[in-house]
A and B are shown apart, each in its own frame.
Chain A
Amino acid sequence: MAKHKDLSIEFCGVKCENPFFLSSSPVGSNYDMCKKALESGWGGIYYKTVGYWIPQECSPRFDATRKEGTAFVGFKNMEMISDKPTEKNLEMMAKLKRDFPNKVLVASIMGENEEEWVKLAKAVTETGADIIECNFSCPQMTSHAMGSDVGTSPELVEKYSAAVRSGTHLPVIAKMTPNITTMEIAARAAIKGGATGISAINTIKSITEVDFDHFTCLPIVNGKSSISGYSGKAVKPIALRFIAQMAKDPQLKGIPLSGIGGIETWADALEFLLVGATNVQVTTSIMQYGYRVVEDMISGLSYWMEEKSIDRLSDIVGAALPNIVPAENIDRDFKVYPKYDHNKCVGCGRCYISCYDGGHQAIKWDSENRRPNVDEEKCVGCGLCWVVCPIEKCVTPDKTEFHSFGTPREINVIAKKL
């Protein structure tokens, strides 16, 4: 049997066999789905949000942003919280916890008022759930007393966090909306109200595409459509930013964070851990590829730890944070010239076009041999050339030149992740 690293990690005081969880969404809607997911290897489940308010869903309700040559990069959904009877959901959650005692069950809840939040907290606590997540962030609720309209108001976040706190002894996580300028303010309010941790991001309000015949966005529901939540690979950079900012916030120091947004691979998940998350949640890639994606997350992360000689996952949580600094703290003493490997180069000239049209006209094109050469007089070291080059390690950062005000020393520049 292949040797695998121990991927267990503690989140909000709960031991998780791995950090990979389903996020509260269609992928964790009932017992059978959750059972299959847990058997596939997921460490735990944020069960689809339960409330007393039962939504009426529309049809169709999904759309995707596509990029030529790839599977879809972004996903739009119009679904709200669970449309199953509350009692039924509670029963299924209890059964899941009974059948999978070593897996972690997080009950996601959403109330319309303080009283409902308390009541829901109590009800899900009784199912045996390990953690409660408060959904303050669904952007497509038809009830405006719910969802992201709540998450953008620190007062409501604090009030409802406190309500949930009063209804349970379990750890409480507040799920944040990205449809806000500064997430820390709402996150601090949640903690002040009694929340244990923060999860982010819920989906981003979006219009994925507009139809040219019916003049509305997609999906078209009998001639009309709505702005609703965007997820998938396209949102990952935004999610990472929110997690990193919360992790670096002095007032949120030590608060457990769960990262959500565009995770498809172990590498995506690891990025969230490196910027401070101790838990990650996934939906879109499961909707696209199935629960089995967790197999390569587990295996891939384990091999990475092996390669880096890391024994405990918690050791690398937040490891990237000290190196993510404000723009004013970036070393601006030097520039790095690119090196063009004429043997690897296939002569497409994309670097030349980009440098001319989007850079500093610093590439001399040898049209006879179809090869680029740097013009050091003009090159500012922006690195656009190695970003656009389609060949691995063809254009690389090379010689460093210090500006008159800079002191020559060893520097370290990497601009393209391979």
Chain B
Amino acid sequence: MMCKDYLEETKRAYSPLNAIEEASRCLLCHDAPCSKACPAGTNPERFIRSIRFRNVSGAVETIREGNILGACCARVCPYDKLCEEACSRTGIDRPIDIGGLQRYAMDFEKSFCKKTLESPETKLQKVAVIGSGPAGLAAAAVLSLKGYKATIFEGKEKAGGWLTYGIVPSRLPQEIVDYEVDYIKSLGVEFKMNTRIGTDLTIDQLKEDGYEAICVTVGLQSPVVLSIPGVELSGVTTAVDFLSAAKPTQGAIEIPNDVIIIGGGDVAMDCATTAKLLGAKKVTIIYRRTVEEMPATKAELEHVNGLGICVLPSFKPVEILGENGKVKAIKAVGLDWLDRNTFAEVPESNIQLKAELVIQAIGQKAEEISYTGLEVNGKGLAVSDQENGKTNIEYVFAAGDIVNGGKTVVEAVARGKAAANSIHEYLSHKKNCSHIAEEAAVQKEGER
């Protein structure tokens, strides 16, 4: 029972009539602020209108053209902070359930095999994409659709990155991730799994193999850990380790009764949901800032509340206590925030909570990427133009979390797309140049 709740999608899907009913609430704005608010250009204005006028295939086409991870994004996007926040209908009552409608269109595509995209048959140059997370998948798909031979190199066993190894299945079932990976494969993208660039293969080898451009979308793989006493205790873990153990085993992990999560983003919420749905009796989230500042989406926060998970905002963990090397409690101090950057500790609100498992969900950082030859900043992130993914190396591009330090899936899709477009520009320019050079050579030959 517990496992079923963990594995099955929480949010109910629309029936066709309900979807049309919801779509008909849309004001069909002249200047559609929802579409402007989508980083990936999923174009809700257009796909809601298609659903409204009974053209669900058209809606599928719009979504796919803008966002190759339309089905995943439909489930994990922070709608309340993007398109739905921009929705004009909010001025009347509540925004259109854009995520729900996007999911409806994507479910329709999946159920009725309504694939709307197709790659050209003739293939252009080879491009290597390093990492199969959202940015890499998006970049490879766009490249393939433009006619390039795109290959994704992935160190892990399964594709999807954080989609596969992180996000809780009750929010994003693995079946949906696999479906979209298969979709991208069907566009001609090749996947080389269990292949780590930097160890199994080098950038130079990729060049030698004929890859004319490389897109680095390796994401952030290392968890950030607290520097407080007790983090080394057994039973103190990180979101990355916890979630990547739970999801691939379909929840077959041991969960103790008292679980503490540290953090306030969707990853923290996913850890809390996972722990609760897999059997923890009491799950408590400790977050440093105020509730208003929590990066988690409203829907996720509501879901967590609905599961009876306690959220303690404005508390800073100060020490993790143990016994025989194993965690037994956590100490935190209440904070009084004066402004976004200044707080005072409130010793009167010191707390100590029983803990058998402490999960740190306070962010991830970049792994060493010197093998790429890319310039990195102080945080170890690739230095790259956010708009086009260009880097210090002409033929290497970078996109997604490794550049922006960890944002949303839809943001990663947007950046992956942008890098692909920029690769396309680079390679077509290169091809033209070589044509011109060839022609010039031929001409010279003739003159002789």
Contacts and interface: CB of A to CB of B under 8 A. Distances in A.
Interface of A: 66, 68-69, 345-350, 352-353, 365, 367, 370, 390-391
Interface of B is mostly: helix
B433 interface: no
Contacts of A390: 27, 92
Contacts of B369: none
A139 to B, nearest CB: 29
Nearest to A67: B24
Interface stretch (B28-36, B183-191, B381-389): B28-36
B407 interface: no
B29 A349 contact: yes
B91 A350 contact: no
Contact of A350 (B20, B27, B33, B90): B27
A353 B29 CA distance: 9
Give the most central of B24, B33, B52, B88: most A CB within 10 Å.
Answer: B88
A350 B91 CA distance: 14
Interface of B: 17, 20-21, 23-25, 27-31, 33, 52, 88-92
Nearest to A348: B27
B20 A348 contact: no
B31 A370 contact: yes
A68 B24 contact: yes
Nearest to A347: B88
Contacts of B90: 346
B20 A68 contact: yes
Given A346-B91, A346-B92, A69 B24 contact: yes
Given A349-B30, A390-B27, A69 B20 contact: yes
Contacts of B52: 68
A68 B23 contact: yes
Contact of A348 (B21, B24, B88): B88
A266 B17 CA distance: 28
B66 to A, nearest CB: 22
Given A68-B20, A68-B24, A69-B25, A365 B30 contact: yes
A348 B30 contact: yes
B24 A350 contact: no
Contacts of A365: 30-31
Contacts, number: 46
Give the most central of B17, B30, B89: most A CB within 10 Å.
Answer: B30
23 contacts: A68-B21, A69-B20, A69-B21, A69-B25, A346-B27, A346-B89, A346-B90, A347-B29, A347-B31, A347-B88, A347-B91, A348-B28, A348-B30, A348-B88, A350-B27, A350-B29, A350-B30, A353-B30, A365-B30, A367-B31, A370-B31, A370-B33, A391-B92
A391 B23 CA distance: 17
A349 B91 CA distance: 13
Contacts of B89: 346
A235 to B, nearest CB: 22
Interface of A is mostly: loop
Contacts of A391: 91-92
The 6 A-B pairs at the shortest CB distance, nearest first, are namely A349-B30, A346-B91, A69-B24, A348-B27, A68-B24, A68-B20
Contacts of B17: 66
Contacts of B25: 69
Contacts of A352: 30
Given A347-B91, A348-B30, A390-B27, 19 more contacts: A66-B17, A68-B21, A68-B24, A68-B52, A69-B21, A69-B24, A348-B29, A348-B88, A349-B29, A349-B30, A349-B31, A350-B29, A350-B30, A352-B30, A353-B30, A365-B31, A370-B31, A370-B88, A391-B92
Contacts of A349: 29-31
A383 to B, nearest CB: 19
Nearest to B29: A348
A54 to B, nearest CB: 38
A348 B89 CA distance: 8
B103 to A, nearest CB: 18
Contact of B88 (A66, A346, A353): A346
Nearest to A351: B30
Give the most central of A68, A349, A350: most B CB within 10 Å.
Answer: A68
Contacts of A69: 20-21, 24-25
Contacts of B27: 346, 348, 350, 390
A68 B56 CA distance: 14
Contacts of B24: 68-69
Contacts of B28: 348, 350
A68 B20 CA distance: 6
Give the most central of A346, A353, A370, A391: most B CB within 10 Å.
Answer: A346
A352 B30 CA distance: 7
Nearest to B20: A68
B371 to A, nearest CB: 48
A173 B290 CA distance: 74
Nearest to A346: B91
B58 to A, nearest CB: 16
